[in-house]
Amino acid sequence: MEPDESFESALKRFKKQCEKAGLLSELKKRQHYEKPSVRRKRKALAARKKAKRRERYQG
Residues of the chain with pLDDT under 70: 1, 59
pTM value is: 0.48
Dihedral sign, Cα of residue 11, residue 13, residue 16, residue 22 = negative
Within-domain flag for 2: no
> Which of 52, 46, 50 is closest to 29 using CA atoms?
46
Within-domain flag for 1: no
**Residue 59: per-residue pLDDT:** 64
Within-domain flag for 40: yes
DSSP 9: H
Q: Residue 14: give the domain boundaries.
A: 7-58
Within-domain flag for 54: yes
> Which of 26, 30, 8 is closest to 18 using CA atoms?
26
1 near 10, Cβ under 8 Å?
yes
The total domain count for the chain is 1
18 near 24, Cβ under 8 Å?
yes
Average pLDDT value for the chain: 90
